[in-house]
Amino acid sequence: MSGDIHIRTEGRAGRITLNRPQALNALTWDMCRAIEGALDAWAGDEAVALLVMDAEGEKAFCAGGDIQEMYATGKAGDYDYGRRFWADEYRMNARMFNFPKPVASFLQGFTMGGGVGVGCHGSHRVVGESARIAMPECGIGLVPDVGGSLILARAPGRLGEYLGVTGARMGPGCAIHAGFADYFVPEGAWPALKAELCETGDWEAVDRAALPAPDSPLAVERPEIDRLFSGETLRDILNLLRRSESPVAARALEAMAKNSPLSMAATVELIHRTRGRDTIEGALELEYRFTSRAMEKGDFLEGIRAAIIDRDRAPRWRHEAMDGAGAMEVAGMLLPLGADTLKL
């Protein structure tokens, strides 16, 4: 466990470094609990002025959660393992979002899924040239979770719906435009900036180091995305996309054809509900309604089989048609859980 994550204090900073570069720093259950423990310890520690989050390796800050054990237990009929993992992870995500001190996260390479829940809830989210940020959960039969649905709900216009159902990857300019990051700092300047943060505890050092954000293709395409993704349901959106001849529509349909229809339909509903709640607690509680049912009643196990276990990239979803999941089925996946509701 100690080799997977390095938690310590350096000068005025609490430091968390993800250390599984061979696995693209995918989060294990133990890593989630260790991060939560550090956040709890440092929240009231006057010696810690801020938190600095980073990761080893050039390819990824964190490409998601380590979900092979979830697959093994789920296939054996044990759905409780995954539910307990998600409950603990989501509680850690809420702690990160509500951490009372500045959090500077350095997001190189891939930051996806579970990585968003660790790296994109802080106050000073730094990206560099290699950043590729995405919420690709619909491709494995889930919905954007770890509080990512709140970031999507707060994104300008209808970018949240677009990013949620396509899983499109954002470079640094798009990530800043969509609200997943705050600052662009060339990666060559990161070591000196981290050292200054640790030595001084002065979070304004990030502002001083930042350069203007790169251009954002998403910002250019946003009027078209807003028009095409303005529907109240996935079926509405698909009708708009299919009637359009724009490159944006063609690219979106191609991406969506690979994803779970049930997950995409629930993602649209989830983002719309979260936009009304606008709290991390509300977002995580809604996400958990879906993920806690995803093995038994959704496409999650099949999605993991196709992407991670057999790697055939040919999932057999519950619905063949992209608009095959009806409103009642979506509502059923998002029903309150009663006594099993997420407790933060």
| Vertex 133 angle, CA 309 and 55, to 5° | 80
Percent of residues, the chain, with pLDDT higher than 90: 97
pLDDT of residue 69: 85
Q: How confident is the model at residue 2 (pLDDT cuts 50, 70, 90)?
A: low
Q: Render pLDDT for 75-114 as a digit per residue (tens, 0 to 9).
A: 999 999 999 999 999 999 999 999 999 999 999 999 999 9
Mean pLDDT of the chain: 97
Over the Cα atoms of the chain, what is R_g?
Answer: 19
What number is the average pLDDT over the span 190-204? Answer: 98
pTM greater than the 0.95 cutoff: yes
CATH hierarchy code of domain 5-340: 3.90.226.10
Residues 167, 139 contacting (CB under 8 angstroms): yes
Percent of residues, the chain, with pLDDT higher than 70: 99
Which contiguous run of DSSP H or E holds residue 124?
strand 124-127
Q: For residues 62 and 119, give the distance between their C-alpha atoms in angstroms, rounded to a whole number.
A: 8
Q: Inform me whether the pLDDT recorded for 1 exceeds 60.
A: no
Q: Render pLDDT for 46-74 as a digit per residue (tens, 0 to 9).
A: 999 999 999 999 999 999 988 888 999 99
Instruction: Classify residue 340 as left (phi > 0), alpha (psi -120 to 50) or beta.
Output: alpha
What number is the average pLDDT over the span 163-189? Answer: 98
**CB proximity list for 76: less than 8 A, separation 6 or greater:** none
Q: How confident is the model at residue 290 (pLDDT cuts 50, 70, 90)?
A: very high
β-pair partners for 27: 65
